[in-house]
Structures are given as C-alpha cells and as structure tokens.
Amino acid sequence: MGSTLEIGDKAPEFALPDQHGKTVSLKNFKGKQIVLYFYPKDDTPGCTKESCDFRDVESQIVRAGAVIVGVSMDGQDSHQKFIKKYGLPFPLLSDEDASISKSYGVYKEKNMYGRKSWGIERSTFVIDPAGTLKAVFRKVKVDGHADEVLTALKS
C-alpha cells in the first residue's frame, strides 16, 4: 500500500505532532504548495545535509508559494535539538509509529551491511494547493535535490 502514489494522485491526509507537540495536518496548508520530505533520522550525515540544503533555499521555496515540512520517526526532543543545532526554519513532524510514512509508501525494509531493518526511505513529495501530488522523488540522492525540488515547484 502507498508505494503506488504517483503524480496526479491525492496526497494522503496527515496529522502529526511537530517539534513543539502541535498537530500539523495537510489541511493547515490549504492554498499553498507543500514540500513534504521524509528522511531517515535527525542529525545523521545525509539527513543533515538534506535539511540544511532545504534551509538554504527556503526563501526561494517560500517565494514559489510553498512551505517545507520534514518528517521522520524521531520524537519531539530529537527534532528540537536538530532544528536548534542547524537553524532549520521549518517544522519537523514526528511519525513515531510510521503510519504516515506507510501511507506515503516510504517505510521500507532496508539492508545495511547485511543487517535488515525497517525505516524511512528518503523521499520528497511536492503537493499542489489542491492537495494533489505535483512531483514525487523516491530514493533521493541528497546532492542537488533541493534544486530539483525548486524546479518542480516552479513548473
């Protein structure tokens, strides 16, 4: 389920606590584009680079009429530290039971050095103001990703 999401599909609804415990849902962003990015873990090398790249283009993303929202399975304390350490200007949501990650099809079995574990596969969804998927990036390579997203927003 979920992994079949494609451009033009309705974005699955979500309602998750942000770093302050405030519930953030898809409905909060009616009329805006959303860059919803799922990442494996706070303060790990790839996730830090990706989040900082988004931070660095955030003003351009906002100018394109969009908001950035990050999602991982980390809890609020972890998110608060991560945001503070890198000055991230956007909310990070806690999907601790992976329910939203599953609905977006990004919760996958991963194989690291022969050890299998379940977690989030780095993925980004651009959602248009009507709540429809405008762009889908799976198995994201961090380098250049923020620019790809900007291009998708402006298209």
53 φψ region: left (φ > 0), alpha (ψ -120 to 50), beta (else) = alpha
DSSP element (H, E) containing 150? helix 145-154
What pLDDT does 3 receive?
Answer: 53
Q: Which residue in 11, 47, 61, 64 is the catalytic one?
A: 47
Q: Say how far apart CA 50 and CA 39 lie, in whole Å.
A: 9
Q: 67: which strand partners? A: 34
Q: How far apart are the first and last CA of the chain?
A: 28
**What number of CA atoms fall less than 13 Å from residue 150's CA on the CB side?**
15
31 φψ region: left (φ > 0), alpha (ψ -120 to 50), beta (else) = left
Structure token pair of residue 105: 């099809």
CA-based nearest residue to 68, from 154, 149, 155:
149
Classify domain 15-154 by CATH number.
3.40.30.10
Q: Say how far residue 154 (Cα) sits from the centre of its chain.
A: 18
| Sequential pLDDT tens for the chain (155 residues) | 445 899 999 999 999 999 999 999 999 998 999 999 999 999 999 999 999 999 999 999 999 999 999 999 999 999 999 999 999 999 999 999 999 999 999 999 988 788 999 999 999 999 999 999 999 999 999 999 999 999 999 88
In SS3 terms, 76-145 reads as HHHHHHHHHHHCCCCCEEECCCCHHHHHCCCEEEEEECCEEEEEECCEEEEECCCCEEEEEECCCCCCCH
What pLDDT does 124 receive?
Answer: 98
The answer to whether residue 47 is catalytic is yes
The domains of the chain are located at 15-154
Q: Say how far apart CA 90 and CA 117 lie, in whole Å.
A: 28
